[in-house]
Every structure is written in structure tokens, then in C-alpha cells.
Structure 1
Amino acid sequence: MSRYTARITYLDPATTEIELVGFLQGKGLATSPGQSRISLATGLEGSKIATATFETGEILSRALKLTPQERLLHDRHVTLDDTFEGFTPLSDGDKIDIVALHGLNGHAFDTWQYHSSDDCFMWLRDSLPEHFPGARVLTYGYNANVISDVSTGRLRTFAETFLERLRQERDSEGYRHKPLVLMAHSMGGLVLKQALIVGSNRADMRYKDLLESIHAVMFFGTPHQGGNGVSTAEFLTNLLHAVNLDARSDLIRELNPNSLFLFDLTGDFRQVIESLHTVICTFVEGKETKIGRWPLKRKLLIVQEQSAILGVARERKTSVNANHSDICKFKGPGDAAYATVRQVLRELIVEITPVITARDANDQPPPPSDLKYTTNDGDWKKYPVLEWGAHTYWALSHIDNRYGMTIVAYDKQGRIAGRWEKAGARYIHSIKMDRERVEFVGQGEYSITFALKDLKIT
């Protein structure tokens, strides 16, 4: 159950945020004051999906009890729930997908939401879309229980279901190759690891496009190495206490050891991400968590640094001044921990998203001997360039002036990192781009086109 927030589905595609607010207010359902307490985005079938945070739990309860007739909007009987099962889009964007996966006994909305007696802030909804307007942000919810689902081995099923539903969510023209950043909290990271291993082992390549689109995975307090010296039973007990749930330690000790495979995925997962050249961003909890009750109350790090680190070449480690539960909850846009996470994400998006710009070719190193810097209008100071992460892509013409251009990628040190030749145009004058392709336009509007994925340097 979400704290005061409902999801509203099956909204007409033409529904606006103003109409939605008016609809709720007309039912006496006051939303929480402040900006961005409502989101409205496009779902899988084209219908709109919204979230609305209400002032009190009593208002949320009334909203969930609306009759079918009371839920009529634009001749549709919309639905309201607070379970957030499956995917919930929080914003629309065509540049990148950011998908958040909660941990066991977590919640697709509340895991990422800070709330106090007089305020709340769900950064994935209330701030992230504003900072990254080209991002489609989604949460994924699943009803997983630490004890029962670990003991029965159902977590593999959760992983497989997540993977397939994510493929379906992106299985449309223009979305299959859209860059993807995945983030997971706590043991949700273990489910995520299992999902990617399952996908990479499919002989039919069903998830090939999906896996190759994953640029980065962000882990918030994920125990890659298990309890790191602490028994599995004790670790799971501490984890449950960290989220204010009681657990009988004798039940946890009786877990079938063979069902705890999630703690032994690191080797296989390393191979997967290294083959995909995926960036790993690890967030380590910097504060101890209070667990237990008096007189046995104590404080400890639920996931210690040695366990939180995956240990791969492309891993970026960041310490967050928060405990295990709050490592992915922030008090507001000015929260220092949120600023840290946002900066990590900004750097990832710069690496992911190509940008069309203009550079002064006079500042470039000499071209290869068979090529030359030439623009259709002769202005070297405004040479059309594609910037992508640490590289710039220049469309150079041939010395013999034939109709063909070679795209040369330079790194930040001015070294050539790649080149691609194609006939059909010469003398660059502009660059055009959509989600999947980039077009280099030359003299007479003749052009050459490349798939972005073919130009990506890993």
C-alpha cells in the first residue's frame, strides 16, 4: 500500500492534468499541496496513467472506494489502486528510459518517496523529469516477500516476469533501441541481476535489443556479496528489521540453502555486463540503520561497503549519507544526497544521448591523408558535429571530391577512435537525428544515414 498516493489507469489519451485535478477535486479528493503531486504519462496501450498524492490517508481511502459511476471520466471508467503492480510511467520522454525496481517487501512508489508528517517528495516523479526532460521515468512493482518468496525460489519468476514485461513496454518502433538506465534498491538489485542473466542465456535472442540498450545499472544498497561474513539468516533478519518488519529468525534459518541462489549470481552477472559494456553505479549506505526494539535495539550497516561493491572495471562507487532504507529517498530537490545521485545520472545521460552542435574545425587535429574538412558553405568555424559522450563525430569529405563522406570519431585527446565510410553525399552542411538514426546532409541536400547503434563506441 502506498502512503497517500493512488495510481489512476485507463485514462483517455486526451486527458490533461488540469482535467484530472478538476475530476479529483469534484469528488472532494484534495491532492497534497506543492508542485508535481500529480503525474500524467502514456501507458503501454496508449491510455494515460496518472499518480496523485492526497493530503491524508482518509482521502486516499475514499478515492479507492469510488464507485464505477463515480470513476467516469471522458466516457471511461478509470481505475484507481495503491499497489502499483507492474509498470507505472511517471513521465513521457523519447531520449532515454529510466526504470526503477524496488526491493523485497518494498513498494514501487513508496520505496523512492520521502515522507514526514507535513511533507513528501518522490524524486522520480516530482523532480527527475524536470531535470531530464527527455527521460521517460517508470517504476516497476511486484509483490515479493523476503521469507516466503526466497524460500520457495519464486524470485526467479519475478525476474523473468520483469524482463518480459520490460521487453513488451519497449517493443514498438523507435523504442527497442532507446538507451536504458536501470536502478534497483536493496535485494531488488539481486532480482535485476537474475533478470539480465536469464535474458543473456536465451538461445533465441529474444532480449537481444533490450540487453544491448542497457547503458547503466544503478544499485542502491544491493548486497552483491550476501551478508559479507554475516550468516544469511542474520542478514535477512536485519534487512527485515531495517524496513520495520518483524521476522521469526527460526523461520529464516529453515530456508532451503539451495533457494538462496540470488546471493551467488555475481560471477555470472559480471560476465553479462562486461559483454554488454554496461556501466555500474554503486551507491553505498553511509549511515547505520536502527534495528530491533528495546532493550535489544542497536545500529548497524545493513549492507556493508564490501558487499555493496560489485567489483567490475566499469563500476563507479558513491557513498550516500543515508541508512539502508533512506539511501534512495530524498527530502527535496535541495537534498545533498539527491544532488549526488542526480549528478551521477546526468553524467550517464551525457554519455548516452548524442547532441548536434557546431565546432571550429581550425581547432581540430589534421585529418587522415585521404580526407579533408569541408563544409558546403565553407564556414569552418561552425562545422556541424555530433557530440556523443567522450567523442565528437565529424563528417569529412574525400580528397578526390567523390560523392561520399567518412564519419571520423575523435576522443577528447584528439585521437581517432573510429571511422565509417558511405557513398552518396559530400561537403557536409547539417546533421539531422531521430531516436535511432543520424543523417549527415551535404551539398544539394544529398545525405548519408547511419543507425546510431552502429556509431556507438564502447
Structure 2
Amino acid sequence: MAGDPDFKGQLDDLVVRSIAPRDGTCVCATVTLRTLMPEEQLLARLQHASKAFLYRYDSAFHGVTPLYEDAGGAHCDVVAVPGLASHAIGSWKAPAGNDLWLRDWLSNDIPNIRVLLYGYDTKLLKSNSRSSVEDLGRRLLESLTAFRTSDKTERRPIILLGHSLGGLLIKEASLSRSSFAANSDPSQALVHAARSPASTPAHRLLSQTCCGLLFFGVPQLGLRSEKLASVVAGQPNQALIRALVVDDESEPSDFLARMSDDFARCFQGRLRVVSIYERRLSATVEMQPDGTLRKSGPAVLMVTKKSATSTGLTAVPDEDIIPLDADHSGLVKFESRRDDAYVVVKERIKSLVSGAASWADDCR
């Protein structure tokens, strides 16, 4: 901080939470601190204070961020994708405190893994983005493929965790460049011909190395939030929201119905999927007189059990579905390592990682 000697005194409780390698040329650290400065000013001051070094600072965490890598070597990547209008780190953070279970707890509970976080922008208000689920899913695919190719880990087994919209991005990324069409029946091949005309070997590797999915409240058949459509009315992102919200008859959009059918046809019997669903109601968002959003609307079951568990990949008796006593946001927020919900989720991830290790052994 030599470039700004007064700056250090304006920061409190600065703690380095993680340091993980990135693409073999640099490392990525996550830190927490307390300050009265606005976020934009803080980032500018940090950049100025360390201008003699090749440091870069960020608080949005868009794209791929490595959170942790086992010092003894990683045999499996665990990738987490948050939901709609969510902060990449805040989505998974403990309700009280700064513990991030993906980074701070899994690192002690599951050996030989690398934990990656993927962030993206789907803010609701004042959005100028026309990105669709297809666009967002393909960017996830491109980012993960590029990241793993850059450090030569593209053949490493991968487990994908998706919360809410994040799970739909995972499904779209899988469909966009899946390699399974070559070994599928003609109807599946037609699906891929329509959805992925420019598949590359690197893209296909991502589908080939995916060994399991863990979905938290993923709206396979849509989510229930009537107010969302009115909040974004007239904005470029209104088509994205309309694709996610069920209609007046609680039916999914045509897009989600097609995605569900395509995913089931292409991946049935090929992927292990764990589906977690909420049992508590969630307050819905409402526009306030000052133009801000607040969760002050009627409480609803945001994603029903049927919507969260309709993957179409297994027969009903074989489904791995887990109810959690949480609302939609709380599905991925745990109080502590002793939290019963965290213990359940951790054991499922551990099982998926174990299965990935067996898959890797079979491929050798």
C-alpha cells in the first residue's frame, strides 16, 4: 500500500481467505475486509495503492474464479454456478459471517478437489442485456472450456453444482456442445444438430468428463414469481424472465419444456443427478416507491418439488432427491460445518467425487 499511505488506516479486519493457482502463470486470492468506502472507490484505491505490482482487483467475480485447490493434487473439479441476479460469492455464503462453504469447508472435508466458482450478470433492474438462457449457458461452456484448457486440466473429471438459474445454464452448456450425439440414436443426433452446429474437441471434452450434477432448486419446469415479469417489463432482459416464470396455469414456458425434453433424451442413463428442493416459502420481490426492489411480496413456494426434480434422467424409484427445510435462497446457505443440511450436501458431493475417481480409473 506504499502508493497510498493513508489508505491502510481506512481498512479493518482484512483477512486473506484463499490463494489458488490460475492457469499456471498467476494466483487468485479472495479476501474479506471492512471499510466505509463505497465499493467502486475501494477498488480504485486498491488498484492505485498497488500500482507497482501486477495486481488486479474485482468484487463481482464474473467468469471463472478458483477458490481452492488441494496442495496434494486435484483429481476432480467441483464447479458452482449461482442463480438469477445473484452475487457469485454471496449466493453461497453463510447467513452470518464470511464463511463460504465451497471454499472454507469443502477444502477440509473432501480431499483432492479443486473448487471453481462461476459468476455472471443477470441483475433485474436497469439491465441492458438481451442475454437468453442459451447465451448464458454457452458463455459458461466457453469460460469453463477455456479455463481448463489453459492449465491443461481439460480431461479432469468435473462435478457441476447449480443453484436455480445456474442449473439451467449447466443444462444448456451440456446441450450446446455435447459429444453424446455420436453414440446416440438418430433422434438425439437431430437435437444436437440443431443446438450445437460448431462443436469442437475441447467443447466435447467438457461433456465427456462431466461425472455428476447437483441441482439446488433448479426450475426445470419454471419458477413461481408473477411479480418478476412486471419488474422487468419493457427492459431488454424481459424475454429471459418470461422464459423462467410459469404461466397463469402454472405451465412452463415452451423454452423450458423443450430444454427438459432435449436434456432427458440426450443424457438419460449417462449422468448421475442429485436434485435438492425447498420446503419453505420465499418472499417475492416488489418494486418500492424509491425504485428499488425488496422481498416484501407474498410468500410462495418459488420452485415446486415437481419443477426441481423433473430431470427426466432416471425412473422415479431411482431418483436421488433431497428436501431441505429452507427457502429458495437458503438452499445453498449453511450456518456451519455442523449444519445438518451442509452435512447432507457434503456427503452427496463426496459421493459424486468418489464416482468421478472411479470413472477416471476406468478411462486409464
Name the TM-score class by shorter chain.
0.7 to 0.9
Separation in structure 2 between the aligned mates of residue 104 and residue 292 of structure 1, nearest angstrom: 13
Mapping of residues 164-183 of structure 1, within 5 Å: 164-171=142-149, 175-183=153-161
How many angstroms does 1:87 deviate by?
A: 0.7
Aligned equivalents of 1:89, 1:258: Cα separation in 2: 31
Partner of 1:268 in structure 2?
Answer: 262
Conservation of the 8 A alpha-carbon contact between 2:47 and 2:57: no
| 1:217 counterpart (213, 218, 223) | 213
CA distance in 2, matches of 1:318, 1:141: 25
State the match for 2:55 in structure 1.
78
Query: 2:68 maps to which residue?
Result: 91
Query: 2:308 matched to 1:329?
Result: no
Q: Does structure 2 retain, via aligned residues, the 8 Å contact 1:105–1:146?
A: yes
Give the whole-Å Cα distance in 1 for the aligned partners of 2:139 and 2:168: 14
State the SS of the aligned residue for 2:256: helix
- The equivalent of 1:300 in structure 2 is 300
Query: In the TM superposition, what whole-angstrom CA distance separates every residue of 1:255-288 from its partner, at most 9, and x where no partner exists?
Result: 597895542210111123226x111110101211
Residues 68 and 189 of structure 1, relative CA distance in 2, 3 Å threshold: closer
Q: Is 1:344–2:348 an aligned residue pair? A: yes
Q: CA deviation at 1:63?
A: 3.8
Q: Which residue of 2 aligns with 1:54?
A: 33
Describe the SS at the equivalent of 1:349: helix
Residue 454 (structure 1) aligned with residue 354 (structure 2): no
> Could you tell me how far 1:104 is from its partner in structure 2?
1.7
Partner of 2:250: none
Could you tell me how far apart the structure 1 residues matched to 2:125 and 2:297 are?
Answer: 22
Return the TM-score normalized by structure 2: 0.75
Q: Does 1:199 align with 2:177?
A: yes
Kindly report the root-mean-square deviation, in angstroms, between the aligned alpha carbons of the 2 structures: 3.5
Q: Deviations over 1:104-160 (max 9, x none)?
A: 2111111111233xx232111121111123111011111124588899453322211
Q: Is the 8 A contact 2:62 2:119 kept in 1?
A: yes
Question: Greater helix percent: which structure?
Answer: 2
Q: Counting strand residues as a fraction of each chain, which structure ranks higher? A: 1
Identity of aligned residues (%): 24
Structure 2 match to 1:101? 81
Aligned partners of 2:127 and 2:235 also within 8 Å: no
The 1:350–1:65 alpha-carbon spacing in structure 2 relative to 1, beyond 3 Å, is: same
Aligned residues of 1:237 and 1:249 also touching (Cα < 8 A): no
SS at match of 1:42: strand
Q: Deviations over 1:76-119 (max 9, x none)?
A: 23121211111110011421101111112111111111233xx2
Change (3 A) 1:158 1:149: farther
Establish whether residue 237 from structure 1 lines up as the match of residue 229 from structure 2. Answer: no
Say if 1:191 and 1:262, in contact at 8 Å, map to a contact too.
no
Match of 1:290 in 2: 283
Deviation by residue 1:338-397 (Cα, 9 ceiling, x = unmatched): 1110011111122222xxxxxxxxxxxxxxxxxxxxxxxxxxxxxxxxxx48xxxxxxxx
Query: Structure 1 residues 250, 192: CA separation in 2 closer, same or farther (over 3 Å shift)?
Result: same
1:29 maps to a residue whose letter is: L
Query: What code does the residue aligned with 1:311 have?
Result: G
Match of 2:167 among 167, 186, 189: 189
Distance 1:333 1:156 in 2: 35
Once residues 159 and 48 of structure 2 are traced to their aligned partners in structure 1, the CA distance between those partners, rounded to angstroms, is 40
- CA apart distance, 1:298: 3.0
Match among 119, 125, 128 for residue 141 of structure 1: 119
Q: SS of the counterpart of 1:169? A: helix
Distance 2:279 2:83 in 1: 19
Matches within 5 A, 1:402-441: none
Which of residues 320, 327, 336 in structure 1 aligns to 2:324?
320
Contact persistence 1:111–1:328 (CA under 8 A): yes
| Contact map agreement 2:62 2:118 (CA 8 A) in 1 | yes
d(CA) in 2 for partners of 1:150 and 1:189?
23
Give a deviation string over 1:174-209, Cα, whole Å, max 9, x none.
512211000111112112211111112345443221
Q: 1:44 to 1:137 in 2, by over 3 A?
A: same
1:44 to 19, 23, 42: 23
Aligned-partner Cα distance in 1 for 2:344–2:35: 31
Write the letter of the residue equivalent to 1:305: K
Q: Which has the larger radius of gyration?
A: 1
In structure 1, the partner of 2:293 is none
Gap change, CA 1:156 and 1:141, over 3 Å in 2: same
Question: What letter is aligned with 1:53?
Answer: T
CA 1:86–1:57 in structure 2 vs 1: closer, same or farther (change >3 Å)? farther
